[in-house]
Amino acid sequence: MVLRWAKRTNILLIAVCTIIGNSLLAQRKITSAEALNNIGSIVTICDNIVDAIYLENAPNKFTLLRMGGVYPNQKLTIVIDEKNRSNFPPRPEIFYLNKTICVTGRLELYRETPELEIFSPADLARSADSVPGNPAPIITNVPSIEYMPEFDFEAGMSLGTMNGATDVGRKKSSIFLPSTVDWKSTKANISLYGGVTYKNLLGARLEMTFGRVAGSDKNGLYPYRNLSYRSSMFEVAAIGEYYPLAKANFNPYVMAGVGVFSFKPQTYYNGTWIDLKPLLTEGQGFTEYPGRTGYKLTQLCLPFGAGAKYELSPAFNVRLEFLYRYTSTDYIDDASKSSIDPSLYEKYLSSENATIASDLTKRSRDYASGYLRGGTKTEDKYFTINVKLGYKLGNLGLRYVGKL
């Protein structure tokens, strides 16, 4: 009887020791560097998640969190099976990245790299002093590497100035220089845009711009010509951007593109603004002036320029930008060639328009000699200087860009 009791006691002691031993083993804490020497053991490992990926296109859609190094040099891979992914915070490969965690489980070897599978946040602890199995908050202030989006989508608006580089009001030559521009006729513009940036290196945007250009000979090289104009402008342009430094926070860039714009030249006459195109001021379509055809109020432009972008926050950025446009017309200011014999207006225009066109021709002191109204070698240009505010709509994809 005593012997039977002793045997039962020994069996009970062995079971208790086994349970205690396994419990102590489970509580044994090691670093990720020691994982390879503890394959098959149940351990708690505390370290940083320095690399993470979701294999959403693989046959087995695992989520992999890596400790001790970036793939393929990690010391430990923590595996979340697809069927358990919903147990964790959304996008765990982002949520746990660059955070210090403690994980408890049995170590296994896969392709010479230790692995440990977890099933819920209960397998994670806050620090080496936390109790495994208690889903306490994790430490978030230990950055190790930096991940950034592949694509950033953005929308924004801008405000700024608009100037014409046309024949009327020009001070020196047909080549753009600050000293050639009629700065006194500067007008405002506003634009709306949407675009995408790839790896802070390349960008593309679609932009609508509303504004006005103007000029007056009293501010230019030929005050005796005495012409003046204003023209409303509406432009839609597709613009590509190149960021040579590919930086995240402050990034200068250059840009070029193609656009379509409409314009409407006017001049001030007897207290009101009148449209110039219907007046055929240079004899467009007159048989006496062959080769002078009417111009269209919608034309092509080739914008190009430079700017700099600064990230105010993860959601907002601000830009300073200069954008210059070559155009396919020389009639933004309704002046391209020489004046005509004003008596011909009565032949081709209504009585009212003929009177207005004749009066406008006689504004110049040299009108009788067929004075030159504009240059014939270059087309008109215009440009904007804007401050832009952009808002990030979202991003797509992630890329590893190195240690912080």
Q: What is the pLDDT of residue 125?
A: 63
Q: How far apart are CA 50 and CA 72, in angstroms?
A: 12
The answer to whether 28-143 and 148-403 have equal CATH topology is no
Q: Is the pLDDT of residue 2 over 70?
A: no
**Does the pLDDT of residue 322 top 80, yes or no?**
yes
pLDDT at 6 over 90: no
User: Tokens representing 269?
Assistant: 């006459």
pLDDT at 325: 96
Q: 397 — alpha (psi -120 to 50), left (phi > 0) or beta?
A: left
Q: Are 223 and 256 in contact (CB under 8 A)?
A: no
Do 268 and 228 touch, CB atoms closer than 8 A? Answer: yes
CA torsion 149→150→151→152, rounded to 10°?
30
Domain boundaries, the chain: 28-143, 148-403
Whether residue 127 has pLDDT greater than 80:
no
DSSP state of 357: H
Q: Output the average pLDDT for the chain.
A: 83
Averaged pLDDT, 20-35: 65
The pLDDT value recorded for residue 111 is 85
* φ, ψ at 341 (rounded to 5°): -65, 115
Q: Is the pLDDT of residue 310 over 50?
A: yes
Q: Which of 259-273, 301-315, 353-367 has the lowest mean pLDDT?
A: 353-367
Most confident of the following: 11-15, 64-68, 170-174, 383-387: 383-387
Q: How confident is the model at residue 247 (pLDDT cuts 50, 70, 90)?
A: confident
Give pLDDT tens digits for 285-297: 999 999 899 999 9
CB half-sphere exposure, 249, CA atoms < 13 A: 2
User: Best-predicted range by mean pLDDT among 272-276, 360-364, 374-378?
Assistant: 272-276
Helices (H) and strands (E) in the chain, counts: 4, 17
pLDDT at 396 over 80: no
- Indicate if the pLDDT at residue 137 is higher than 60: no
| Residue 101 confidence class, pLDDT cut points 50, 70, 90 | confident
Max mean pLDDT range (70-74, 173-177, 316-320): 316-320
- The CATH number assigned to the domain with range 148-403 reads 2.40.160.20
Q: Are 394 and 196 in contact (CB under 8 A)?
A: no
Q: How confident is residue 242, by pLDDT bands cut at 50, 70 and 90?
A: very high
* C-beta of residue 233 within 8 angstroms of C-beta of residue 261: yes
* pLDDT higher than threshold 50 for residue 267: yes
Q: Percent helix, strand and coil across the chain, each rounded to 5? A: 20, 45, 35
User: What is the model's pLDDT at position 309?
Assistant: 96
Q: How far apart are CA 316 and CA 151, in angstroms?
A: 15
Percent of the chain with pLDDT over 90: 48
Q: How many CA atoms lie within 13 A of 371 on its CB side?
A: 17
Question: Average of pLDDT values for 322-327?
Answer: 96
Average pLDDT over residues 303-322: 94
Residue 131 in this model has a pLDDT that exceeds 60: no
Give me the pLDDT at residue 286, please.
Answer: 94
Q: Which residues lie below 8 Å from residue 49, measured CB to CB, with a gap of 6+?
A: 65, 66, 67, 78, 96, 97, 98, 99, 100, 101, 144
Q: How many residues does the chain have?
A: 404
Q: Tell which residue, 203, 252, 192, has the closest CA to residue 388.
A: 192
Which CATH code for domain 28-143? 2.40.50.140
Query: For residue 337, what are the CA distances in angstroms to 281, 284, 293, 363, 381?
Result: 10, 10, 12, 16, 16
Percent of the chain clearing pLDDT 70 (strictly above): 81
Q: Which of 324, 337, 300 shows the shortest CA–CA distance to 386?
A: 324
pLDDT of residue 90: 82
In the predicted model, what is the mean pLDDT of residues 98-103?
87
CA distances from 79 to 33, 119, 150 (A): 17, 9, 24
Mean pLDDT of 292-317: 94
284 has a pLDDT exceeding 50: yes
Residues 386, 321 contacting (CB under 8 angstroms): yes
Higher pLDDT, 178 or 357: 357
